[in-house]
Amino acid sequence: MNDKIFLDTNILIYAYSIDEPKKKDIVTTILQKYETIFVSTPVLNEFIHVMSKKKKLTLDDLKEVTQEIRQNFSVAIVDLPTIDKALSLALKHKYQF
C-alpha cells in the first residue's frame, strides 16, 4: 500500500505499550501496511508526556524511543507557517480545526 498516514498520539502510545498487548498487535499490523508514516512534533511531545506520567517510562528510555520513532517515521514539524496553512485550508473547505 502506498498511502501515507499521520499518527495520532494514542496510536503511537499503543505501538509502544506493554500493558495493552491486544491494541499493540492491532496497531503493529496496521503500521506494517504503510510505507510512509508521519508523526508531528506536537504528537511526539504529547507521547513523551503520557509515557512518562502514565506509563512511567524514564526520560532515558523515552530518548531512545523517540530516536527510534524518528528513524522509522517521518516527523512533520509544526511551525507557524504550517498552522497558518492549516487554518486557511480549514476555512476554505469548512473543516474543523
**79: region left, alpha or beta (phi > 0 left; psi from -120 to 50 alpha):** beta
Q: Residue 41 is part of which domain span?
A: 4-93
Confidence (pTM): 0.83
Residue-wise pLDDT for 23-58, tens only, equals 999 999 999 999 899 999 999 999 999 999 998 899
pLDDT at 16: 92
Given a cut of 70, whether residue 2 has pLDDT beyond it is no
Domain count, the chain: 1
- The pLDDT mean for the chain works out to 93
CATH of the domain at 16: 3.40.50.1010
The helix/strand/coil state of 27 is helix
